[in-house]
């Protein structure tokens, strides 16, 4: 019996798509990519809010990036993406939650999206909005910097927390404010330099050079 096809539905430049794709790549899973027609009536059957990414594995469909990453880690062979140690696993989920609560509402929304989404639309970013949220960007990176005492976010090996942070921090490092903030947070800069060289990251996250 052949293995069911793995498809990742989404927009490859999206950081959340890239997190899901990294989870599959780190597990050594070959997958197809497709951007679905979100307005099609049948699409609501696999994502009630008509968003991406969605993982389709045979008859199974999973929406929400964290759920996709956990499914990929449990379902497929390859290096574990969740620490066995309870404190390390708690730290992993702590930083996933911190990113979704605080990183999205600072770095992702008001630096990465403000600059790169507007660039795609040939629009000029609102520098006042970027500056307004710079203190929150500084604070998030400073907290991340203080927590990075090892090679990865939650210990000695790559975890799902790293996979959430890698795509957005690569984009952020290509912005004026990102370069300045990372220069003052050496642990974050070291971590980013290290993970950028991984084959999965080079394939998935560095296909587009959008230096601001």
The answer to whether 36 touches 52, Cβ cutoff 8 Å, is: yes
Q: Name the average pLDDT for the chain.
A: 94
Q: How far is CA 22 from the centre of its chain?
A: 8
C-alpha–C-alpha distance, residues 187 and 175, integer Å: 18
Q: Once rounded to an integer, what is the mean pLDDT over residues 109-113?
A: 95
pLDDT confidence of residue 190: 96
pTM flag (> 0.85): yes
Q: Helix 134-147 vs helix 176-183: angle between axes, to the nearest 10 degrees?
A: 40
Q: Once rounded to an integer, what is the mean pLDDT over residues 3-8?
A: 90
pLDDT confidence of residue 210: 55
Question: Is the pLDDT at 144 greater than 90, yes or no?
Answer: yes
Lowest mean pLDDT among 38-52, 82-96, 103-117, 194-208: 194-208
Percent of the chain with pLDDT over 70: 95
Element (H, E) at 200: helix 199-204
97: closest CA among 155, 46, 154, 151? 154
Q: Which domains does the chain have, with CATH numbers?
A: 6-75 (3.40.30.10), 86-204 (1.20.1050.10)
177: closest CA among 119, 128, 105? 128
The answer to whether 111 touches 177, Cβ cutoff 8 Å, is: yes
Measured distance between the N- and C-terminal CA atoms of the chain, rounded to whole angstroms: 49
Residue 5: Cβ-neighbour burial (10 angstroms; 0-12, 13-18, 19+): exposed
DSSP string, 113-125: IIIIIHHHTT---
Strands of 32-34's sheet in order across: 32-34, 6-9, 54-57, 60-63
Question: Is the pLDDT at 212 greater than 80, yes or no?
Answer: no
Q: Give Cβ neighbours of residue 203 (< 8 Å, ≥ 6 apart).
A: 25
Would you call 37 helix, strand, or coil by DSSP? coil
Q: Calculate the dihedral angle through the C-alpha atoms of 163, 148, 181, 108, rounding to the nearest 10 degrees.
A: 30
């Amino acid at each position: 019996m052949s293995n069911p096809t793995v498809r990742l539905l989404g927009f490859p430049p999206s950081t959340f798509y890239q997190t899901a794709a990294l989870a599959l790549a780190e597990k050594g899973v070959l997958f197809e990519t497709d951007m679905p027609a979100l307005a099609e009536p049948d699409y609501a059957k696999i994502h009630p809010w008509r968003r991406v990414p969605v993982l389709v594995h045979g008859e199974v469909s999973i929406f929400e990036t964290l759920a996709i990453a956990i499914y990929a880690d449990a379902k497929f062979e390859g290096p574990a993406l969740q620490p066995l140690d309870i404190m390390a696993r708690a730290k992993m989920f702590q930083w996933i939650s911190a990113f979704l609560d605080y990183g999205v509402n600072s770095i992702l929304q008001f630096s990465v999206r403000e600059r790169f989404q507007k660039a795609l639309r040939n629009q000029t970013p609102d520098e006042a909005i970027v500056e307004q949220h710079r203190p929150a960007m500084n604070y998030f990176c400073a907290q991340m910097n203080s927590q990075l005492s090892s090679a990865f976010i939650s210990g000695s090996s790559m975890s799902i927390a790293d996979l959430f942070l890698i795509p957005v921090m690569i984009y952020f490092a290509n912005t004026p404010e990102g370069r300045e903030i990372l220069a003052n947070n050496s642990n974050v800069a070291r971590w980013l330099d290290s993970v950028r060289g991984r084959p999965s990251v080079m394939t998935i996250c560095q296909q587009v050079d959008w230096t601001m």
